């Protein structure tokens, strides 16, 4: 093997290593997105007349959307303040739900998301109209097959509500919260009678 050949081989190996390192660095950059930084606590909902623009908008209606009703200025028996949200679903043969998104109507195809690093929990208060309503609560439903995805996710599964206000908490320990596009999600399955429940004081803290 000549010195010239050895030098050429060494140069090729070095170039390959540089390209590999560059590709790995690019992969790290792509896989480490970051959303809009906000101060904590980050309020998803408190009152319908609260000041300031919310970080997440309840724009992602899913399932049988014609059967979904939402009143975010319901003044009867809020957990705190002057209002809460009243949600109803009236299709017994289907399911429905709402995703709170950043920005509005973003299913991961638009640049967005919120940087919630430092938050320890997602907490909210809920109650059923009669009790025994089954509702699934979660956040982070946009997967990596989308350009702008949720870097973290969590779920309480299906929760059986009571007629009294109760606080629910999704722990955030160990989560990558650098880009959260879908900050809050609920879904319900229809029953013979409309499923009616209430939400209040949704906050990342």
The single-letter DSSP state of residue 180 is B
Question: Quick one: 142 exposed, middle or buried, by C-beta within 10 A (0-12, 13-18, 19+)?
Answer: buried
Tens digits of residue pLDDT in 54-79: 999 999 999 999 999 999 999 999 99
Measured between alpha carbons, how far is 200 from 123 in angstroms, rounded to an integer? 10
Bridge-based pairing state of the strands 134-139 and 121-128? unpaired
Kindly report the CATH number that applies to the domain delimited by 34-204: 2.60.120.430
pTM tops 0.75: yes
Assess whether pLDDT exceeds 50 at residue 92.
yes
| φ, ψ for residue 186, nearest 5 deg | -130, 155
Partnered with residue 200 across adjacent β-strands are 125
* Percent of the chain scoring above 90 in pLDDT: 81
Interval 160-170 mean pLDDT: 98
């Amino acid at each position: 093997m000549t010195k010239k050949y050895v030098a050429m081989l060494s140069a090729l190996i070095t170039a390959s290593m540089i390209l590999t390192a560059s590709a790995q660095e690019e992969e790290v950059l792509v896989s480490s997105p970051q959303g809009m930084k906000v101060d904590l606590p980050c309020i998803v909902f408190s009152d319908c007349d609260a000041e300031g623009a919310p970080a997440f908008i309840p724009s992602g209606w899913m399932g049988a959307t014609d059967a979904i009703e939402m009143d975010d200025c319901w003044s009867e028996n809020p957990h705190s303040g002057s209002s809460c949200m009243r949600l109803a679903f009236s299709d017994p043969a289907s399911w429905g739900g709402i995703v709170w998104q950043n920005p509005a109507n973003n299913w991961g195809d638009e640049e967005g998301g919120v940087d919630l690093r430092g938050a320890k929990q997602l907490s909210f208060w809920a109650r059923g109209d009669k009790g025994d309503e089954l509702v699934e609560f979660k956040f982070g439903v946009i997967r990596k097959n989308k350009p702008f995805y949720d870097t973290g996710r969590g779920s309480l599964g299906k929760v059986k509500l009571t007629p009294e206000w109760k606080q629910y908490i999704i722990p955030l320990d160990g989560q990558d919260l650098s880009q959260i596009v879908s900050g809050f999600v609920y879904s319900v399955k229809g029953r013979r009678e409309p499923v009616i429940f209430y939400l209040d004081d949704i906050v990342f803290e």
